[in-house]
């Protein structure tokens, strides 16, 4: 028999026996056999004939190495049956595999949500290019330096602001959180530095810095001082509309006009401007507006045809020049700079400016910040106050039962009694304090039995305070107070360079730094310290500082902000 008749015969016999098993007798046998023949011939043709002539597809391209050729017909019928049947089944499986591979490669790649359940070799979802690339973790390395030059490396997220980083450093270094810490952008090669705004992203600022630039962690009391005392930062002669109204605008209205985007305040005055690519300085009449910094080419004229742009506020930041007047040959010591954000280390692109006094420089730099950031500065200023208000409900310490049961006692008589009168209790506490001081004085005369006795510590205990800076020069004290903000009441204490037994109180008042010498004096064999020529005497520096923080005395104002440094 031939191959096709033999196959037809076998199938006809199978359908015949199936037909005999049917319960119904009205089935058309001839139609059933014809349908069976046509379906079998179509299946045989697609599986055998087309396989011999058409190459298989691999990823949409002809795969010539996998084509199947029909072999020569075997001589034995047993061999014909054994070789013909598996050949069709293998061809069908091969077509299904190639079709599945082609369909998988043509569809878009879908990442496998459970890669650990599949092997990369057998799973099409883990093929190359199907999985997304690993995204960065969002952590960045930032190095922070303290005043003593020591650095600390911290890892921060990409969305961390300058305020959040300062709060993190305050927590890690156990500092006093008085909302006066700041992050400073320092450029030693350019001699510039500025205090970052609380809302600025640290990572973005670091991207515009050079390898030599660094971040400093220090105090800055003057960051929002202009909100508390605006008249000291904005003199009437420098604000244009204050002159038009004869200075009758209240301080609240002054700040409101600066923060309001619809109003157009203007800062005006003379500035020394360094010409581009030159060492010479030229005195110009300058106007600071929301659109930028302009100067007049004809005296003090404000006509648009006489105004030229000096610097843009949107893409620039204002910096303080810390290198002094010698490097740039500045006419005064009150120099500042406007640096574009795109400029990294090009001194020629910087706009160097110089004011006539410290108050004028503070006015120009503060107005620059207000015009650039506007209401954001006020929101940054209000955040610590709002947080303090929220915590005020929980700030009261919870007293224990034993503490509530404590009362003032009087043991002067034979039997102790409870002092019910609060005025009498307060006077008893003061008498006890005076008695303790007399005992310490007596022990000082007789000799202290132990180096840890309070009388022996009174001469050195002040060195543990944050406001005491030891043997620093006058210039270094000026630099520290200037860096941390020239606000009223900022102070520090240091050893006197002229008198080894004396101390010096350095403080700031009305943008000026003043020095007061603290001299030792002796009375009844006891050594005291006095700042007002023995009119008020103190046993140690801690008592002196605490007194003048509560009382003005001979000082121009009370001591308020200690100039401190922290080691990271």
Mean pLDDT of 431-439: 61
CATH number for the domain running over 140-219: 3.10.20.90
Tell me the pTM.
Answer: 0.63
The neighbouring-strand residues paired with 310 are none
Rg (CA), the chain: 44
pLDDT at 283: 93
CATH H-level, domain 461-562: superfamily = SH2 domain (3.30.505.10)
The residue among 519 and 438 whose pLDDT is bigger is: 519
Contacts 24+ apart (CB under 8 A), 284-289: 286/310, 286/353, 288/364, 288/367, 288/368, 288/371, 289/264, 289/371
Predicted confidence band at 502 (pLDDT cuts at 50, 70, 90)?
Answer: very high
Predicted confidence band at 163 (pLDDT cuts at 50, 70, 90)?
Answer: very high
Kind plus residue range of the DSSP H or E element containing 529: strand 526-530
Mean pLDDT of 388-399: 52
Contacts of 191 (CB under 8 A, 6+ apart): 321, 322, 323, 327
Task: Give CATH 3.10.20.90 domain extents, the chain.
Answer: 140-219
Residue with tokens 């006890």: 432
Task: Give CATH 3.30.505.10 domain extents, the chain.
Answer: 461-562
Strands (E), 316-384: 316-321, 335-340, 351-354
pLDDT at 476: 92
Could you report the per-residue pLDDT of 19-51, keeping only the tens digit for each?
555 554 455 556 655 665 565 555 445 444 444
The per-residue pLDDT of the chain, averaged, comes to 75
pLDDT at 485: 87
Could you report the per-residue pLDDT of 241-284, keeping only the tens digit for each?
655 555 566 777 778 888 887 777 889 999 999 877 778 899 99
| Tokens standing for residue 525 | 């064999």
Please state, for a pLDDT cut of 70, what percent of the chain lies above it: 65
Could you report the per-residue pLDDT of 400-429, keeping only the tens digit for each?
444 455 667 777 666 777 777 777 777 777
The neighbouring-strand residues paired with 540 are none
Q: How far is CA 467 from CA 185, 224, 560, 561, in A?
A: 24, 22, 11, 9
pLDDT at 425: 76
Contacts of 538 (CB under 8 A, 6+ apart): 528, 529, 530, 544, 547
Task: Give CATH 2.30.29.30 domain extents, the chain.
Answer: 235-378
The residue among 343 and 532 whose pLDDT is bigger is: 532
Q: Are 527 and 549 in contact (CB under 8 A)?
A: no
Q: What's the fold here for domain 235-378?
A: PH-domain like (2.30.29)
């Amino acid at each position: 028999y031939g191959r096709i008749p033999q196959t037809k015969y076998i199938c006809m016999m199978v359908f015949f026996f199936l037909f005999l098993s049917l319960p119904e007798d009205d089935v058309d046998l001839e139609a059933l056999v014809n349908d069976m023949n046509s379906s079998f011939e179509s299946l045989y043709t697609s599986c055998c004939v087309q396989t011999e002539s058409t190459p298989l597809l691999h990823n949409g391209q002809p795969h010539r190495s996998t084509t199947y050729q029909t072999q020569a017909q075997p001589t034995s019928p047993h061999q014909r049956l054994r070789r013909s049947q598996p050949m069709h089944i293998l061809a069908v499986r091969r077509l299904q595999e190639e079709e599945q591979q082609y369909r998988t490669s043509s569809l878009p790649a879908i990442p496998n949500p459970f890669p650990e359940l599949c092997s990369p070799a057998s799973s099409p979802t883990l093929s190359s290019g199907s999985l997304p690339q690993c995204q960065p973790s969002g952590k960045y390395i930032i190095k922070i330096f303290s005043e003593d030059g020591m650095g600390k490396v911290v890892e921060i997220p990409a969305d961390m602001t300058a305020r959040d980083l300062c709060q993190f450093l305050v927590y890690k270094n156990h500092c006093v959180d008085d909302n006066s810490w700041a992050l400073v952008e320092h450029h030693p090669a350019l001699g510039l530095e500025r205090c970052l705004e609380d809302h600025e992203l640290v990572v973005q600022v670091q991207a515009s810095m050079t390898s030599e630039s660094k971040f400093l962690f220090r105090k800055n009391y003057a960051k929002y001082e202009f909100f508390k005392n605006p008249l000291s930062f904005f003199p009437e002669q420098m604000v244009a509309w204050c002159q038009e109204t004869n200075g009758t605008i209240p301080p609240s209205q002054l700040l409101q006009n600066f923060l309001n985007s619809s109003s157009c305040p203007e800062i005006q005055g003379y500035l020394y401007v360094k010409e581009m690519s030159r060492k010479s300085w030229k005195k110009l009449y300058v106007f600071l507006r929301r659109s930028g910094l302009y100067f007049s080419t004809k005296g003090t004229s404000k006509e648009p045809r006489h105004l030229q742009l000096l610097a843009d506020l949107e893409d620039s930041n204002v910096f303080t020049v810390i290198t002094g007047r010698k490097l740039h040959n500045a006419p005064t010591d009150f120099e500042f700079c406007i640096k574009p954000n795109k400029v990294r280390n090009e001194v020629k692109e910087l706009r160097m400016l110089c004011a006539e006094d410290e108050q004028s420089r503070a006015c120009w730099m503060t107005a620059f910040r207000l015009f650039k950031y506007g209401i954001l500065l006020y929101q940054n200023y209000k955040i610590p106050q709002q947080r303090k208000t929220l915590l005020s409900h929980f700030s009261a310490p919870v007293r224990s039962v034993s503490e509530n049961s404590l009362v003032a006692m009087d043991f002067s008589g034979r039997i102790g009694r409870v002092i019910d009168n609060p005025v009498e209790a307060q006077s008893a506490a003061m008498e006890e304090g005076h008695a303790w001081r007399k005992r310490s004085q007596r022990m000082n005369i007789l000799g202290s039995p132990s180096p840890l006795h309070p009388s022996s510590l009174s001469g050195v205990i002040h060195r543990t305070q944050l406001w005491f800076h030891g043997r620093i020069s006058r210039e270094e004290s000026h630099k520290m107070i200037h860096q941390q903000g020239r606000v009223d009441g900022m102070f520090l204490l240091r050893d006197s360079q002229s008198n080894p037994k004396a101390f010096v109180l350095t403080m700031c008042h009305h943008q000026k730094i003043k020095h007061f010498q603290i001299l030792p004096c002796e009375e009844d064999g006891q050594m005291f310290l006095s700042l007002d020529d023995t009119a008020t005497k103190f046993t140690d520096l801690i008592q002196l500082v605490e007194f003048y923080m509560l009382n003005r005395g001979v000082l121009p104002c009370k001591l308020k902000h200690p100039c401190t440094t922290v080691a990271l």
